[in-house]
Structure formats: C-alpha cells, structure tokens
C-alpha cells in the first residue's frame, strides 16, 4: 500500500458544526502532516506529527485541533470554523528523516457556510 | 511569502520541451523536490535530487541543480497535454517541514 487515504473527499459545514477530517497510511511512515491549500496558492503547513507527537504547530487557530491516535492515523477536528477556512486540506506522510519526500492524499475540499 | 521562488506561468506546444525554474534559499537542504498537482487533486512527488548532485534524469524528466546560485530546474522532454498541471518546487527544512514555491502553471497547447 503506497497511498495516503483522506476522508471525506468533500465536506460542507456550518459555522456552528463540529466535524473531523481523517487521514490514513500504511507505509510505515512515522511523520504525518496537515496542509491547507487555498485556490491558486501553494500548500501551507499547519501541523507536523513525528512519532505520534505534535512537533510543529504553525500558529494555527484553536478551532483546528489535530490528533494522531496511532502511527497510521491522523485526524483534524474542526469546530466553529469561518468561511475563510474554506480550502483544500491535504494530509501527507513521510519517513522522519532521509530521502523520499512526502506522499500526499488527494485532499478534503472543505466549504464553510 | 514563500522563500522558494518560481515563475507563475509557462505555456508550450505539445512535443516541445518545458523548463520550469526555481530559486531556493536554504543551502543546507539535503534534498530538493518537484511535485505535480493536477486540478482537484493532491500533490504527486515527481522527482527529487540530492544536494551533492548536479543533474538527475528520470525518463522524460531532467533535474538540474546549481548549488552555488541556489537554482533548480525541471525539464520535461516531449511535453504532452497530460503534463498540463501546476508544478511545485520544494525544499525540506530541518524540522521535517516542506517549503513550497508558489507553483508554476504549465499549459500545453496541441
């Protein structure tokens, strides 16, 4: 298995809703990432998990809450989002060190109404 | 803003070669990467180069690295319409964080 699987592919939520994005990989990668990508922009790093521990939080608002329950799963819990949070949310995984780059999922397209 | 810089647009005719350029900032980056993103999809790792190499060739793709000038390029030979996409140059920071350029939108005309 050489893929990163993200669910759901599309999500529409209201500003008072609570929802979660899910990411799964079975490549034995011990680093996992959440990126946010707005239209026509490069991905922006949100969070990095290394060995299931949060190692980087790029000053992301607390309405985004990451969770890494085990080495294969990464969640992003969403609560009280704003319309400007609408974007493509990409999950990626990699080896902690060394060659290989990231393997990205196909993303969750989130629309906040 | 991005520390990795790329020109935003490139248009070529089918069958021509495409050259996408990138300037990066961190001379300590061990690897430099090229990713491809098609509409509505995630990023696909195309190729990478180790920082002590000058060139890497992989089928139609050639990566050139000028470490002195911190300049990276991706050449696509015999460009096809299926190559139309956004191409991101990226460098990996010390904390496992990948830093992306703004992306070059390649349009291939028949």
Residue A108 sits at the chain B interface (C-beta within 8 Å) = no
Residue of B2 and A65 predicted with greater confidence = A65
Nearest CA in chain B to A50: B96
The residue to which tokens 């979660």 are assigned: A20
Substitution target from A43, A55, A87 for chain B, most B beta carbons within 10 A = A43
Taking only the tens place, the pLDDT of each residue in B12-47 is 999 999 999 999 887 777 889 999 999 888 999 999
Round the average pLDDT of chain B to a whole number and report it: 91
* Confidence band, pLDDT 50/70/90 cuts, at residue B89: very high
Residues written for chain B: 110
- With a pLDDT cut of 70, the percent of chain B lying above it is 98
Nearest CA in chain B to A6: B42
Q: Which two tokens stand for residue B75?
A: 């050449």
Average pLDDT of the segment spanning A14-28: 95
Contact A21, A41 (CB under 8 A): no
Contact B109, B63 (CB under 8 A): no
Residue B92: per-residue pLDDT: 82
Contact B102, B37 (CB under 8 A): no
Taking only the tens place, the pLDDT of each residue in A39-71 is 989 999 999 999 999 998 888 999 999 999 999
The residue to which tokens 């490139």 are assigned: B10
Residue A104 sits at the chain B interface (C-beta within 8 Å) = yes
Across B14-54, the runs of DSSP E, i.e. the strands, are: 18-23, 31-37, 43-50
Residues of B in contact with A45 (CB under 8 A): 97-99
Residues of A in contact with B33 (CB under 8 A): 101
Residue A102 scores a pLDDT above 80: yes
Query: Which helix (H) or strand (E) segment is A47 a member of?
Result: strand A44-50
Contact B18, B12 (CB under 8 A): yes
* Confidence band, pLDDT 50/70/90 cuts, at residue B1: very low
Choose among A50, A90, A106: nearest Cβ to B96.
A50
């Amino acid at each position: 298995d050489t893929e990163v699987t993200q669910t759901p592919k599309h999500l529409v939520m209201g500003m008072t809703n609570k929802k979660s994005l899910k990411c799964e990989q079975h490549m034995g990668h011990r680093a996992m990432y959440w990126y946010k990508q707005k239209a026509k922009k490069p991905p922006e790093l949100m969070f990095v998990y290394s060995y299931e521990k949060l190692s980087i939080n790029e000053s992301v608002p607390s309405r985004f809450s990451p969770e890494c329950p085990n080495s294969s799963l990464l969640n992003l819990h969403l609560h009280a989002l704003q319309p400007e949070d609408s974007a493509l949310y990409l999950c990626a995984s990699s080896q902690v060190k060394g060659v290989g780059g990231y393997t990205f999922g196909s993303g969750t397209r989130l629309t906040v109404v | 803003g991005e520390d990795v810089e790329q020109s935003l647009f490139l248009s070529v005719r089918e069958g021509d070669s495409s050259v996408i350029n990138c300037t990066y900032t961190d001379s300590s980056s061990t690897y430099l990467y090229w990713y491809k993103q098609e509409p509505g999809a995630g990023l696909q790792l195309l190729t990478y180069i180790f920082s002590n190499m000058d060139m890497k060739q992989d089928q139609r793709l050639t990566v050139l690295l000028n470490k002195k000038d911190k300049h990276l390029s991706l050449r696509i030979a015999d460009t096809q319409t299926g190559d139309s996409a956004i191409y991101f140059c990226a460098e990996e920071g010390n904390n496992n964080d990948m830093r992306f350029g703004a992306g070059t939108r390649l349009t291939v005309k028949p």
